[in-house]
Amino acid sequence: MSAPRGSAVAPPAAWLRASLGRFATGVAVVTFTTLDDDGWQHRRGITVNSFTSVSMDPPLVLVSLQRAVQSHDLLRGRPFSVNVLGAEQRDLALRFAGKPQPDLARTPSWIEGEVAPHLAGALVTFECTPWAEYDGGDHTLFLGRVERFEHRSGDALGFAFGAFTTIPEPPAG
């Protein structure tokens, strides 16, 4: 399906979404801590596939969050972690996307990081301090300065064509 040619009218959102969905991405969960009115800490997380590196000096990464999601305003000005998920962590992606699957349900294991909490067993974890926020239309672009990171071996969880997929780790060498 393609957008009409020679038209000044923007293509329907469904066409644009279908086209953008052909770009394969990794899957990550952004995690952070909030305080309630009584001073209790609450760990939060949201699944994203809009994550990218921005700069090596200083080390910056970017996540894009839709303004309509509940966690959007909670993330503002807070340290956060980006947890790139392994292929075996589809259940965590669904849970933090607000779509937990009863047959896959498990309580996430958390690690209290030096900067922000993160998920145990993630393929990669980047702990970030807030750097900047930018208007991105119906999204906000959150830049974080990477203060700490770690990774492990394994296949990555990917997303393309509206479905999860496995991105195999290449052989060493």
| Residue 51, beta-bridge partner list | 63
Contact indicator for 78, 130 with CB cutoff of 8 Å: yes
- CB count within 10 Å of CB 117 equals 22
Conformation bin of residue 56: beta by default, left when phi > 0, alpha when psi is -120 to 50: alpha
Is residue 127 over pLDDT 80? yes
Mean model confidence pLDDT for the chain: 88
The tens digit of pLDDT for each residue in 35-56 reads 887 878 889 999 998 999 999 9
CA distance 162 to 14: 12
Cα–Cα distance, 51 to 163 (Å, whole number): 17
Q: Using one digit for the tens of pLDDT, what is the confidence trace for 157-167?
A: 999 998 999 99
Exposure string of 19-46, with b = 16+ CB inside 10 Å and e = fewer, is eeeeeebbbbbbbbbeeeeeeeeeebbb
Cα gap 149→51, rounded to integer Å: 15
Return the pLDDT at 1: 53
What pLDDT shows up at residue 38?
80
Distance CA 130, CA 123 (A): 22
Pairing between β-strand 139-151 and β-strand 124-136 as defined by DSSP bridges: antiparallel
φ, ψ for residue 95, nearest 5 deg: -60, -50
Of 47, 121, 37, nearest to 82 by C-alpha is 47
pTM score of the predicted model: 0.87
Q: What is the pLDDT of residue 28?
A: 96
Among the residue ranges 9-23, 43-57, 89-103, the one predicted with the least confidence is: 9-23
The verdict on whether omega for the bond into residue 58 sits within 30 degrees of 0, i.e. cis, is yes
Does domain 24-161 bear CATH number 2.30.110.10?
yes
Query: Which of 42 and 118 is assigned the larger pLDDT?
Result: 118
